[in-house]
A and B are shown apart, each in its own frame.
Chain A
Amino acid sequence: MNLLEFFRERKKQTPAAIAKERLQIIVAHERGQRTAPDYLPALQQELVEVIRKYVNIDSDQVQVALENQGNYSILELNVTLPDR
């Protein structure tokens, strides 16, 4: 490694830092799924069907997430409506 490369390397994230960042994201995501109740996929599917009665959307335009906040949970529903 010459001197120039040495300084260029410094600016970039190290491979270990990239690994850590990727792991933190995937692990957090998978932990969220792990604690999600079994009915969530079915709930999502039925919600999509109800919304489809009124608006034409794809199933991936509805996101359902359950977030635990201490002694209560928040059911978050995110629907992306098509451009008018």
Chain B
Amino acid sequence: MAKIIVVTSGKGGVGKTTTSAAIGTGLALRGHKTVIIDFDVGLRNLDLIMGCERRVVYDFVNVIHSDATLAQALIKDKRLENLYVLAASQTRDKDALTQEGVEKVITELSASFEYIICDSPAGIEKGAHLAMYFADEAIVVTNPEVSSVRDSDRMLGLLASKSRRAEQGLEPIKEHLLLTRYSPERVTNGEMLGVEDVEEILAIRLLGVIPESKSVLKASNQGIPVILDEQSDAGQAYSDAVDRLLGKEVDHRFLDVKKPGFLQRLFGGRE
């Protein structure tokens, strides 16, 4: 049985797809057979972040409608043996995803994968609902900013009441907080909510803190999940988060202001 993990946030633009790509890739790097599903029907983007946009032939909705088999629609990653992507459809039909259809696909994937990462669209409409409905665990991606924190709290409410686990009275979805676009400098200056502040408000387990980093845009420009950029702070932070997801105890890094090195101070170079 696969573990189903939804990457959700409520608010858009906080880093759900970046996170889905990074976490999925990180799990595959550690030898776990993983598939990442894009639930954002009509606004497909996971394929671009994963760098497989030119290889999409069949998508999620084709499989639901039995226009293609899963084997035809799954895109195998070129870099990693254990990694697959299921692209979202670009249809404008809002009802393209059905609960029965999603269940059928997830059940079939469960038989051969260890992890199913569901990349949720923004909002609380059907796509977002179905992305989280079957989840065992949830990664709530949050920026240290008021609207994102509020929307995350709203999502936590929905995870606790509108998911399959909630409806069937099973053990609740395990919730993880992933704080992204974190800027230790601005937190120190009192301009930005700190990690403790967000933890206190949302009251869920902290999975990781991803620093605001130029490497994220650089990676998405190239279609390479940022976790593969092992030199970058964001890549390392995602790597730690994957280890924590797998139950390892890893200290949090990148929470404090970086002291510029001697040469950096001399020449004013920036990472």
Contacts and interface: CB of A to CB of B under 8 A. Distances in A.
Interface of A: 14-17, 19-20, 22-24, 26-27, 30-31, 34
Contacts of B161: 34
B197 interface: yes
A20 B153 contact: no
A9 to B, nearest CB: 9
B150 A27 contact: yes
Label chain B's interface by main secondary structure: helix
Interface of B: 145-146, 149-150, 153-154, 157, 161, 187, 189-194, 197, 200-201
A33 B200 CA distance: 20
A14 B154 CA distance: 26
Contact of A23 (B150, B154, B189): B150
Given A23-B150, A24-B201, A16 B157 contact: no
A25 B256 CA distance: 28
Contact of A16 (B194, B200, B201): B194
Contacts, number: 41
Contacts of A19: 145-146, 193, 197
A31 B156 CA distance: 10
Secondary structure at the A interface, as helix, strand, loop or mixed, is: helix
A14 B191 contact: yes
Nearest to B186: A16
Contacts of B190: 14-17
B191 A15 contact: yes
A38 to B, nearest CB: 12
B146 A22 contact: yes
A24 B201 CA distance: 6
A15 B192 CA distance: 7
A16 B187 contact: yes
Contacts of B194: 16
B90 to A, nearest CB: 34
B192 A16 contact: yes
Contacts of A30: 150, 153-154, 157
Contact of B149 (A15, A17, A23, A34): A23
Given A17-B190, A20-B200, A22-B146, 9 more contacts: A15-B191, A16-B192, A20-B193, A20-B201, A23-B149, A23-B150, A27-B201, A30-B157, A34-B161
